[in-house]
A and B are shown apart, each in its own frame.
Chain A
Amino acid sequence: MRKILPLLLVLATPALAGGPPVDDDWPCQQRKTGAISRAAIWAGPEVFSGRWDDDSQVAALARKLASRRTPLEEAGPLIDAFAKEAGADKDKRLTLLFDGTLDLINGERAKVMAAITRYARGQKALAAKVREDADKAADAQESQGYGQDITAPDALEKAHPELKWDKRIFDDRAQALTYVCESPVLLEKRAFALARAIQEKL
């Protein structure tokens, strides 16, 4: 029984068992992980009552910080200036600023990850189309009795230029994927760096 119980747990709740959840549509080497946890990057105060977007100054700065258009080097001075003018509620407002930044980055990260999954599905479909078209073209060639080596990719592509294009798109996208897959990690790094910079001002 002692052996069976953990096994059942593994079957019932793969996430709790510690193994990475399996997702066939996730094309990246990097593990697919859920939203960035507040606790993973923050040792400051717990959540305060009130929403970060109720404070217009906090909301504006959170948007600016979360945006990848703002270089990280500019974040420090911006947070510094905010902290100096934050008044008596400084810790609360800094915590809300962190919560806002994290919310926005998590939102962006979720979008990026959904896009990666869509991208991977598109690639799969394209791969299937290339395979199918190549088979069809090869069959057609064979039935016409060209008598040439239909396994040679050159011969096929000469007769069917659209195949070449599809393959090229597929290869380009596959290469781009390496970079695209870095995006969620880059956002995690950004969230962490911002959390640290905000925390220093508490």
Chain B
Amino acid sequence: MGGDMAAETEDPAGFRAELREWLEANCPESLRDANGPEDSICWGGKRWVFESEDQKLWLERCVTRGLTVPTWPKEYGGAGYSREQEKVFHQEMARINARWPLQSFGIWMLGPALLHFGTPEQKAHFLPPISRGEIRWCQGYSEPGAGSDLASVQTRCEDKGDHWLVNGQKIWTSYADQADWIFALVRTDREAKKHLGITFLLLDMTSPGVTTRPIKLISGASPFCETFFDNVEVPKEHAPGISSVVGTVNRGWDVAKYLLTHERTMISATGSGARSLGAVLSEEMGGITDASLRAAAVKAEVDALAIGLTLERYKDMAESGQGVGDASAMLKYVGTELNKDRHELMMATGGSEALEWDGPHGTRPADWLRTKANSIEGGTSEVMLGIVSRRVLGLPG
């Protein structure tokens, strides 16, 4: 939500004041550029090359306070923040325009799944390296034949006693070429009904037989890959007592469903904290004279504010014990459709200048094209509407 709508909460224990002081003292000047390009945020992992000493320093400092994963328990590298404290943290980060210290699929997806389904040993083994940005994870869900119909994954996973043998292909694996590990949905029972024979497996991307191939998108970027598994042997235990399966064998769909909820909420948040379209418009066009463009932009602004409040409301609901569940499909749908609208408007205000790849508006055309994937990845808008109509509204299948 835009700063002018977010009220500062009370600060009886001096929490905000202390945090503000720490951020002021520790966030390097050069990283106070939160509005910069998305890829300027550190992804971590063994292959990560820091763009500057400051970027490295900022990550290290945040790690010491658990601020890369503020709501995780302290024992796993978090700060143990309540949702209220997390809100304050976000407000204080925004206040100095601080760049996020670390982003990753480990933080967004595997972490929440492990916190919910993992054994104490798995949590202790896998979570701290995620919080420190040491291990970068990618997500192996979709396959060429399993897109919107995700539960029909075919990647074969056979029980070979002390190890699993994996064969198959994943697609749309985000940044698989730069990831250290992958969490993947694999089929462990070919006879069971399709939702019941799936297992949630963790494996090392350096295992022999794993190869990746980036997919070039219309934006020119290659955030996604094809990932191939050719007789990949995955130990049953990565270390003594550390199972390579999250949850129960053949019940990986439970974990996947839980995670999809997270993913949808996350994708829906894309762009909700963005600057007002009005500010962008008036800067670029000296106040808008094109009435239809202005009207469309105002409508997008109205919707953006209301959708931001809806994310806020659903977080509040989750915190007070009311499950978000299938409504995450709603959040994903409205958030991604809005983001596409916003970027269409940004292209229109940029005019011919926004048609150059590296023109006056920088990555704007690439960003615009990238948003077209928002309403496809993590379940298409049509799949989301299907979920709402069947599971929320109870319409007949």
Are the chains A and B members of one assembly?
Answer: no
A contacts, CB < 8 Å to B:
none
